[in-house]
Amino acid sequence: MVDERSAKTYDFHAAERRWQATWEREALYRAADDAPRDKYYVLEMLPYPSGDLHVGHAKNYTLGDAVARMKRMHGYNVVHPMGFDAFGLPAENAAIARGVDPGVWTRDNIANMKRQLRLMGTSYDWSREIVTCEPAYYRWNQWLFLRMYEDGLAYKREAPVNWCPYDRTVLANEQVESGRCWRCGALVERRLLSQWFLKITAYVDRLLAGIDALTAWPDTIRAMQRNWIGRSDGVTVRFSVEGLQATIAVYTTRVDTLFGVTFLALAPEHPLVAELVQQHPAHRAAVEAFAETVKNQSELERTSLLPKSGTFTGGYARNPLSGERIPIWVTNYVLADYGTGAVMGVPGHDERDFSFAQVHGLPIVRVIDDPHAASPQPPVSAYTDDGRLIASGDFSEMNSARARTAIAQRLGDLGHGETTVNYRIRDWLISRQRYWGTPIPIVYCEHDGEVPLPDDALPVLLPPQSTLAGEGSPLARDAAFMHATCPRCGGPARRESDTMDTFFESSWYYLRYLDPHDDRLPFATARVDPWLNVDQYIGGAEHAVLHLLYARFFYKYFHDKGWVHGPDEPFAQLFNQGMVLRSGEKMSKSRGNVVGIDETADHNGVDAMRLFLLKATPPEDAMEWTDEGIAGRVRFLDRVWRACEPFLTVAKEAPLAVLPERRGAAQHEVVRAVAAALRSGAEETTTARFHYNTTLARLDELVNALTKLAQLPEAASDPALRYAVRIIPLLLAPFAPHIAEELWHGMGFQRSVHLERWPDFDPAALAVESIELVVQVNGKVRGRLAVAPGIAEDDAFALAIADPNVTAHLAGKPVRKRVYVPDKLINFVTA
């Protein structure tokens, strides 16, 4: 028996500092490109260096680190890199607010974050670090842009765009959430500007089809990508315009309602609007005034918030099947960059059209029978379901599905339409009117026009800090930067003043990790192919559409160029971690509920923080950070130390593959708990569920059992105890790496515990040797029997009757009924 007080106190401050320094000095986690073992590429999403990390951030990195460590212990050659997504608006806005250079602000934050990530005991291969604001990285953004430009995937055009008035820059459609800027929350405006786009729509079919293969992604993320791509099957209908040699093309999924069209609605930006008002000058002033009013309204205002409004152009079109004369209106709820910029108004069967028709006194015609409508009263709402066609000429009495096919066929035969596949997704707008981003490698020459720079002119460097505050692009105000020479004619030229959307650089960074020092190419195929694709990607669900969709687009383009081979998708498995809450709310500085990593490490230790983050809940669920929870993990580590430290010198020689002889219930419970913890860790890793909270619960049980065993006489010579003490550092290694190393070296081992294998376990050790069977008489407990699992009913009753206390309570009472719940309960019911 050993007195717990004889164990030395565990000094987590000293241990954590010592082992972090040792791991870094020995480059313990550097991945070998030519190792013969199976590879495993685990990656947390590239972080933005915003300043101090808190425990909410730490959950993501701790989970990724546990996976990386566990996979190494399972024999894989693991690459686990880290870098920084360092361009972007927050740095520029912070620089304006503080009067500092955004580069200085960003690099200071990176230095602090690297210190904190090391403090957390993470096993990153820092030799592969990338920083996207460094010319050595963004040079290759420019190189990739030029390849896309050559291939027709990068182009510039004038288009209505989303404008954030606070950040004074353009936003991609994907960066507008409920009509507001995804970053600052300002209401987005619409402006007509000349901007750079990437033609993601060229890959839309492959992006959509590829989702089916992403079986190891969360279903919610796959659904969000499908919805954003937004494939629909419909018909393009062409309406001839009276007095003009022109037609208006309308895309619709409800061609079965064609005979109910009572007006056409155009976006104010539709190119035909100018011709219509020229033909009908009496309506010019009203149309132009309406277009001016709508111009700066946000998409959300136009489609959802504001009343449906519009004005008549004076023009008419003809229904291609019925020949009906249809007035042409401009409206606020039709957008130029969705569909064709024109909508056929069917107020009888579309809610928006119904509202518009009511306001403007337009006819409302039903062409699909509503079986619930009270006829012949006027409709009080649109009937939007399928049904039986009425008042639709030859197509009357058909159901909607049959009518859609028949009407599409008729339109095709007459040359007035055709079946069409349409997509919600639009080309990716990458222009940003800000300083802190990758300069676009294009110049404008009076003689040669738009000219791409040659590769040997890269990188186009950002100038020293420009004047950031003010209207327009900061780079456009920098005369020295804007002055350039045309690479074709040698004449004077003007540089492109826009910078790239920061999602450009985060769309391919995972490849640069695999070849981070190449100065000839963004990455060499021979260096990246052996590692691809990323086996496990970990990050927040908020990136479902933006980053993940763009990264898939880039990867498919790289496949087409022959730069990568193998799997068609960049990320085999995706895991979305849950948030860390404080007092029921997401941690944020504005709420004042942030728990910092530095203070937590100082007060409780890094291992305790890691264990709490991993054990509190399954990793995909939100967890509540509590002082009691972290204190509980501190106490657990103290118990581990007290249970193991006195026996370290005698545990070194304990075998790992052969179970010690079982000498009693206490020994068996320890061996069973070891097997349960080993099995849990292995299963959670191989299935990629990563419910290490279950593994850590088994580890709690093991430490409890070990503590009891240590109190028995001659515990130090007990094989079961030595076996458990030998195993515990290996069990702790992925989760609490510092105390695991301290215990391991305390046994006298020289090699790091993090180079060891995850031990095998004997399934037979998991068997329960006996169970407790409760015996009741008339519902009251009168005995408890230790029996073998699965004992036969007759044998169980025989043992129960032999129990003296049960016999005493049955004396003289006839048994009316016997109840048996296998392996749990016996109940005698007497008369």
Question: What's the pLDDT tens digit per position in 102-112?
Answer: 999 999 999 99
Q: Would strands 483-485 and 492-495 be described as parallel, antiparallel, or unpaired?
A: antiparallel
Task: Give the pLDDT score at 308.
Answer: 86
Average pLDDT over residues 309-327: 97
Query: Looking at the predicted structure, is the pLDDT value of residue 788 above 80?
Result: no
Contact 709, 723 (CB under 8 A): no
Distance in angstroms (rounded) separating the CA atoms of residues 440 and 498: 7
The pTM is what? Answer: 0.88
pLDDT band at 375 (very low <50, low <70, confident <90, very high): low
How do residues 253-304 score in pLDDT, each as one tens digit?
A: 999 999 999 999 999 999 999 999 999 999 999 999 999 888 777 777 777 7
Q: Which residues lie below 8 Å from residue 653, measured CB to CB, with a gap of 6+? A: 722
How do residues 392-432 score in pLDDT, each as one tens digit?
A: 999 999 999 999 999 999 999 999 999 999 999 999 999 99
Distance in angstroms (rounded) separating the CA atoms of residues 751 and 737: 14
Distance in angstroms (rounded) separating the CA atoms of residues 113 and 238: 58
Burial class (CB in 10 A: 0-12, 13-18, 19+), 469: exposed
CA distances from 587 to 54, 334, 488, 593, 719 (A): 8, 39, 54, 6, 47
Task: Give the pLDDT score at 29.
Answer: 98
Q: How many CB atoms lie within 10 A of CB 98?
A: 11
pLDDT band at 93 (very low <50, low <70, confident <90, very high): confident
Task: Give the pLDDT score at 99.
Answer: 85
pLDDT band at 829 (very low <50, low <70, confident <90, very high): very high
Distance in angstroms (rounded) separating the CA atoms of residues 262 and 350: 12
% of the chain exceeding 70 in pLDDT:
96
Nearest to 573 by CA among 537, 546, 532, 619: 537
Contact 473, 439 (CB under 8 A): no
Distance in angstroms (rounded) separating the CA atoms of residues 294 and 299: 10
Q: How many CB atoms lie within 10 A of CB 320?
A: 21
Distance in angstroms (rounded) separating the CA atoms of residues 604 and 606: 7
Distance in angstroms (rounded) separating the CA atoms of residues 511 and 568: 14
Average pLDDT over residues 466-475: 75
How do residues 164-177 score in pLDDT, each as one tens digit?
A: 887 777 887 767 88
For 679-718, letters b (16+ CB in 10 Å) and e give bbbbebbeeeebbbbbbbebbbbbbebbbebbeeeebbeb
Distance in angstroms (rounded) separating the CA atoms of residues 229 and 242: 36
How do residues 430-461 score in pLDDT, each as one tens digit?
A: 999 889 999 999 999 999 999 999 999 999 99
Nearest to 695 by CA among 667, 736, 723: 736
Distance in angstroms (rounded) separating the CA atoms of residues 46 and 144: 19
Average pLDDT over residues 715-731: 93
Q: Would strands 77-79 and 39-44 be described as parallel, antiparallel, or unpaired?
A: parallel
Task: Give the pLDDT score at 148.
Answer: 99
Distance in angstroms (rounded) separating the CA atoms of residues 269 and 291: 8
Distance in angstroms (rounded) separating the CA atoms of residues 304 and 179: 9
Enter the DSSP assignment of 558.
Answer: H
Contact 74, 38 (CB under 8 A): no
How do residues 656-666 score in pLDDT, each as one tens digit?
A: 765 655 557 78
For 645-664, where are the alpha helices, taking DSSP H only? 648-651
Radius of gyration of the chain (CA): 35
**C-alpha angle with apex 507: 227 to 422, nearest 5 degrees?**
30
Q: How many CB atoms lie within 10 A of CB 484?
A: 19
Task: Give the pLDDT score at 664.
Answer: 73
Domains of the chain from N-terminus onward: 140-199+427-500 (no CATH), 232-422 (3.90.740.10), 771-830 (3.10.20.590)
Helix-strand-coil split of the chain, %, nearest 5? 45, 20, 40
Q: Which residues lie below 8 Å from residue 715, measured CB to CB, with a gap of 6+? A: 1, 2, 647, 709, 721
| 87-96, 183-192, 735-744, 776-785, range with the lowest pLDDT | 183-192
CA distances from 29 to 57, 301, 305, 609 (A): 22, 52, 54, 21
The dihedral built from the CA positions of residue 266, 267, 271 and 276, taken in this order, carries a sign that is: positive
43 DSSP β-pair partners: 537
